[in-house]
């Protein structure tokens, strides 16, 4: 029997993962569940954002359903003790180097997008974000420079093997869709980006059936709001992917709608909404559970090889939204639980 680790985390994490778990139980995916503390919640209890027991559970599990971590009260802690260290540690420890972030506008949500409906309607893209390298994991620190000023630094670096393996995920993802891949970098300024571009071009020799193009990240940010319909699969580094995926989410209606999958070499993956812990609305039943529920669907598809149930869940979310039920982020007034109930009712 497959084991799903549930790591609810902080803020709205527990509320939204609870709804996702109910949906997983309702489709009868045959998995069992174990929960553990992570992030600020784990720090308060154990003094560590990613306690050894939680990491051990994640390593034992076939898949991890993650909520969100972080709250302002932890922002002054030493970096290793902040809630964010938990998600970064899980990605690194589990070798989850590929982050898939699909952005699609559900019918009926045209009005919720930050873009005009006729532009928003066309969004249906996947950002393939590299997740265990780049400026996130390079050397970082503080020192005094020659002028005696305090200097903070974070090294942005990629090696060719890291680039090649994420490029392959980009090309493979493009093969499952329209066979178009846009690689986003800043090769006009950054040396790590020039290597990125060179290696992506080299890997493309194995994917002659995929049309590859390159775009600078500033232009990509602009094109994403000008004409998001031009994108299908985008492959990019950790930092650029972090920023562009938040931007893509608002184009698609709400950050409360977007799921993600973090994958490595094997079938084990970590699934989380791309939104954060939203401490301002935590515990009030206002959060949109759709991103977490759609993350559960991605979990079934990528880690449990259960495509039928993944599609059932995605169709249920679409029907629930089409029925007009909306949480506050989408301009409605229903609660987290009511949204979860509506999705459950629409499971075919």
Closer residue to Mg ion in complex, CB, 239/297 = 239
Contact between 154 and ligand IPM by CB under 6 A: the answer reads no
Contact between 134 and Mg ion by CB under 5 A: the answer reads no
Residue with tokens 């599990």: 61
Helix (H) or strand (E) holding 234: strand 233-236
Contact between 242 and ligand IPM by CB under 6 A: the answer reads yes
Q: Which region, judged by CB under 5 A, interacts with Mg ion, from 80-88, 113-121, 237-245, 322-330?
A: 237-245
Q: Which residue is nearest to ligand IPM (CB)?
A: 84
Contact between 134 and ligand IPM by CB under 6 A: the answer reads no
Task: Kindly list the distances between the CA atom of residue 76 and the CA atoms of 48, 85, 89, 143, 191, in Å, as whole numbers in the listed order.
Answer: 15, 13, 19, 19, 33
Contact between 87 and ligand IPM by CB under 6 A: the answer reads yes
Contact between 130 and ligand IPM by CB under 6 A: the answer reads no
Q: Which residue is nearest to Mg ion (CB)?
A: 242
Q: Give 188's contacts (C-beta < 8 A, 6+ positions apart).
A: 216
290 binds, among Mg ion, ligand IPM, none (CB under 5 to 8 A by kind): none
For residue 96, the minimal CB distance to Mg ion (Å) is: 15
DSSP category for residue 148: S
Q: Which region, judged by CB under 5 A, interacts with Mg ion, from 4-12, 234-242, 286-294, 332-340?
A: 234-242
* Of residues 114, 132, 131, 136, the one with CA closest to residue 123: 114
* Of residues 259, 217, 258, the one with CA closest to residue 241: 217
Contact between 84 and ligand IPM by CB under 6 A: the answer reads yes
- Evaluated on CA atoms 289, 290, 291, 293, the torsion sign reads positive
* Of residues 235, 103, 215, the one with CA closest to residue 168: 235
For residue 272, the minimal CB distance to ligand IPM (Å) is: 7
Contact between 62 and ligand IPM by CB under 6 A: the answer reads no
Task: Kindly list the distances between the CA atom of residue 318 and the CA atoms of 6, 270, 313, 331, in Å, as whole numbers in the listed order.
Answer: 24, 23, 9, 16
For residue 9, the minimal CB distance to ligand IPM (Å) is: 10
Q: Among all residues, which ones are annotated catalytic? A: 136, 186, 218, 242, 246
For residue 234, the minimal CB distance to ligand IPM (Å) is: 15
Q: Which residues bind Mg ion (CB under 5 A)?
A: 242
């Amino acid at each position: 029997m497959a084991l799903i680790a549930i790591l609810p985390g902080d803020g709205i994490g527990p509320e939204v993962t609870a709804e996702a778990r109910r949906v997983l139980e309702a489709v009868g995916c045959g998995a069992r569940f174990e929960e553990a503390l992570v992030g600020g919640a784990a720090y308060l209890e154990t003094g560590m954002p990613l306690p050894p027991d939680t990491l051990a559970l994640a390593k034992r599990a076939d898949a991890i359903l993650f909520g969100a971590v972080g709250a302002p009260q932890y922002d002054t802690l030493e970096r290793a003790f902040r809630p964010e260290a938990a998600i970064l540690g899980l990605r690194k420890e589990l070798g989850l180097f590929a982050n898939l972030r699909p952005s699609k506008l559900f019918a009926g949500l045209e009005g919720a997008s930050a873009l005009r409906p006729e532009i928003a309607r066309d969004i249906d893209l996947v950002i393939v974000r590299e997740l265990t390298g780049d400026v996130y994991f390079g050397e970082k620190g503080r020192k005094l420079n020659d002028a005696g000023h305090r200097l903070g630094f974070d090294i942005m670096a990629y090696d060719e093997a890291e680039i090649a393996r994420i490029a392959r995920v980009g090309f493979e993802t493009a093969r499952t869709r329209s066979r178009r891949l846009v690689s986003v970098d800043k090769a006009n300024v950054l040396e790590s980006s020039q290597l990125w571009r060179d290696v992506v071009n080299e890997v493309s020799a194995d994917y002659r059936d995929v049309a590859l193009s390159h775009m600078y990240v500033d232009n990509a940010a602009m094109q994403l709001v000008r004409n998001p319909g031009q994108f299908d699969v985008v492959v990019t580094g950790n930092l650029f992917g972090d920023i562009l995926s938040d931007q893509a989410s608002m184009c698609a209606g709400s950050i409360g709608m977007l799921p993600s999958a973090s994958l490595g070499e094997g079938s084990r993956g970590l699934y989380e909404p791309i939104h954060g812990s939203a401490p301002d609305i935590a515990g009030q039943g206002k959060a949109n559970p759709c991103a977490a529920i759609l993350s559960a669907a991605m979990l079934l598809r990528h880690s449990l090889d259960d495509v039928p149930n993944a599609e059932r869940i995605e169709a249920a979310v679409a029907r629930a939204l089409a029925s007009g039920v909306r949480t506050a982020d989408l301009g409605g007034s229903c609660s987290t639980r009511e949204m979860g109930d509506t999705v459950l009712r629409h499971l075919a």
